[in-house]
């Protein structure tokens, strides 16, 4: 396996320099290519006429060393002078790029990503000499730089970009506007109109990310269209987030590449962060499926369920439906969300599932969603639900949406719609035998835009909690 030049141009340049290097190649004590060698290295890369060719060559050389494509030995002896030169030999990983397995190649690329990630979070300064103390040591405190904090911030940004990518129809879709990505790190979810202070923070993060994505793009993790320099102001070089969508592309556009999706997921998993990937659950049981897609973006969850059903085929549709329904039962906190996803999964099953669905019509936890499934397909002889089931289903549905942490306006519409369908809703709702009843009624009291109804909901929540204690 090889990673093509266009997929990861920086790694491709590093490989070319590693193959170019020989016994006469001169390197500094820190492993860097000496300045006198940079023009020849740039020429070998086809960058001899580029004014930044030497800088690109230096960057590629450092990556070749960092990824083990080259091995550099420091000058011999503890008392070697600062201008002493080291020696360079071919590293073991250079051969793996052509003779190793795909996983070997991806592991080398991940090492490169780690090195470039460190470069992207390194501090920027105008004059390094200003940081050197009288004793020759570097005053790191003057940098006002916390490497761990910087790395965690960039990982958070890339994690958000990963989830935003999954929320679209696929990785090849349109890129994410840089202002939207910056806002995801700054603007609180429950904030309405951002304040001037928050907008200023978004602007600062945009410019910070603009610098970082310019560094990350050559390793192949993202495709990036930088901020239009014409929009930058002289003071602080910050761009104001766009006021209309027509100009949004000028403020930077970014999307993860297929390599980027792989790399970010690996970093997230290594850090112990749940990183969904469509297809992971296709061979698992229904219980794992419904729990696993609980917080997937809608499109990704639908695709995952489709793959899960596809492995079972039409002949097993009834058995698959029965397995989904069985996994949806429960009184634990995540059960309402499992039932919601079960209902959505059943929507992808054909009429072959009807016997399994009818089998749970009398089930107090599943009878409501079973009736919904049958009614949506125009099935005959669907029994009317008892009143207790209607109220139980309303509570369960709101509990599921609260757990899903969806759009606030949509949640308000759901709350107001369900509570408004039945006269005397709160007189009955607080008696519902559902573990989430008190929490749901309190949420209705917070979310309902009619003050009187919200007050009634809070009173009902108090009754429900009192009843639960008895």
pLDDT above 50 (res 171): no
Percent of the chain whose predicted confidence (pLDDT) is above 70: 85
Output the pLDDT for position 10.
94
Side-chain-facing half-sphere of 453: CA atoms under 13 Å: 17
Q: Is 224 helix (H, G, I), strand (E, B) or coil?
A: strand
What is the rounded distance in angstroms from the CA atom of residue 201 to the CA atom of residue 234? 17
Q: Is 231 helix (H, G, I), strand (E, B) or coil?
A: helix
Output the pLDDT for position 234.
47
What is the rounded distance in angstroms from the CA atom of residue 16 to the CA atom of residue 57? 10
Output the pLDDT for position 130.
60
Output the pLDDT for position 330.
92
pLDDT above 50 (res 466): yes
Burial of 185 (0-12, 13-18, 19+ CB in 10 A): middle
- What would the two tokens of residue 145 be? 């730089």
Q: In sequence order, what DSSP letters do the residues of 167-221 get, joined into one string? A: TSS-TTSPPEEHHHHHHHHHS-TT-SSPPHHHHHHHHHHHHHHHHHHHHHGGGTS
Measured N-to-C along each axis, helices 53-66 and 102-120 cross at an angle, to the nearest 10 degrees, of 120
pLDDT in tens, 63-90: 999 999 999 887 664 444 556 677 888 8
pLDDT above 70 (res 300): yes
pLDDT in tens, 213-261: 999 999 999 999 999 887 765 444 556 666 555 567 888 999 988 889 8
Output the pLDDT for position 17.
94
Q: Is 338 helix (H, G, I), strand (E, B) or coil?
A: helix
DSSP symbol at 70: E
Residue with tokens 């940098």: 143
Burial of 369 (0-12, 13-18, 19+ CB in 10 A): buried
Output the pLDDT for position 158.
93
Average pLDDT over residues 257-283: 84
Q: Work out the angle at residue 110's Cα, subtended by the Cα atoms of residues 104 and 112, and round it to the nearest 5 degrees.
A: 110
DSSP symbol at 73: E
Q: Predicted confidence band at 364 (pLDDT cuts at 50, 70, 90)?
A: very high
Output the pLDDT for position 223.
93
- What would the two tokens of residue 211 be? 């610098």
What is the rounded distance in angstroms from the CA atom of residue 358 to the CA atom of residue 269? 41
Q: Predicted confidence band at 162 (pLDDT cuts at 50, 70, 90)?
A: confident
Q: Predicted confidence band at 447 (pLDDT cuts at 50, 70, 90)?
A: confident
Query: Would you tell me how many other CB atoms lie within 10 Å of the CB of residue 242?
Result: 16
Output the pLDDT for position 467.
82
Residues in the chain: 470
């Amino acid at each position: 396996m090889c990673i093509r030049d266009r997929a990861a141009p920086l790694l491709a340049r590093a490989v070319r320099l590693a193959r170019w290097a020989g016994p006469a190649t001169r390197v500094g004590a820190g492993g860097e290519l000496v300045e006198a060698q940079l023009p020849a290295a740039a020429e070998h890369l086809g960058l001899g006429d580029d004014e930044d060719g030497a800088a690109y060559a230096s960057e590629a050389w450092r990556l070749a060393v960092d990824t083990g494509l080259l091995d550099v030995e420091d000058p011999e002896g503890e008392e070697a002078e600062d201008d002493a030169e080291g020696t360079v030999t071919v590293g073991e990983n250079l051969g793996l790029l052509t003779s190793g397995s795909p996983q070997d190649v991806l592991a080398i690329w991940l090492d490169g990503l780690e090195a470039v990630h460190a470069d992207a979070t390194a501090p920027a300064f105008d004059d390094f000499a200003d940081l050197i103390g009288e004793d020759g040591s570097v005053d790191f405190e003057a940098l006002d730089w916390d490497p761990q904090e910087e790395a965690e911030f960039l990982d958070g940004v890339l994690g958000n970009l990963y989830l935003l990518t999954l929320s679209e129809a696929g990785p090849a879709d349109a890129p994410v506007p840089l202002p939207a990505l910056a806002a995801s790190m700054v603007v609180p979810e429950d904030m309405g109109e951002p304040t001037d202070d928050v907008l200023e923070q978004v602007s600062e993060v945009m410019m910070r990310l603009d610098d970082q994505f310019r560094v990350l793009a050559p390793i192949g993790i993202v495709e990036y269209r930088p901020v239009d320099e014409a929009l930058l102001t002289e003071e602080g070089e910050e761009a104001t987030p766009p006021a209309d969508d027509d100009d949004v592309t000028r403020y930077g556009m970014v999307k993860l590449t297929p390599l980027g999706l792989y790399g970010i997921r690996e970093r997230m998993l290594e850090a112990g962060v749940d990183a969904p990937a469509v297809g992971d659950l296709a061979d698992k049981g229904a219980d794992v499926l419904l729990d696993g897609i609980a917080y997937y973006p809608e499109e990704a969850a639908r695709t995952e369920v489709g793959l899960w059903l596809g492995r079972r085929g039409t002949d097993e549709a009834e058995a698959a439906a029965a397995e989904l329904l069985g996994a949806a039962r429960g009184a634990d906190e995540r059960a309402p969300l499992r039932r919601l996803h079960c209902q959505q999964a059943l929507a992808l099953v054909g009429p072959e599932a009807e016997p399994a669905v009818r089998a749970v019509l009398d089930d107090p936890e599943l009878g409501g969603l079973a009736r919904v499934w049958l009614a949506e397909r125009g099935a005959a002889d669907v029994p009317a639900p008892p009143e207790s089931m209607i109220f139980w289903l309303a509570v369960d549905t709101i509990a599921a949406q609260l757990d899903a942490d969806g759009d606030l306006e949509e949640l308000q519409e759901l709350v107001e719609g369900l509570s408004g369908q039945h006269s005397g809703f709160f007189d009955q709702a607080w008696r519902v035998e559902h573990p989430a009843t008190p929490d749901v009624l309190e949420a209705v009291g917070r979310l309902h835009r009619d003050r009187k109804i919200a007050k009634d909901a809070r009173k009902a929540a108090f009754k429900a909690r009192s009843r639960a204690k008895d």
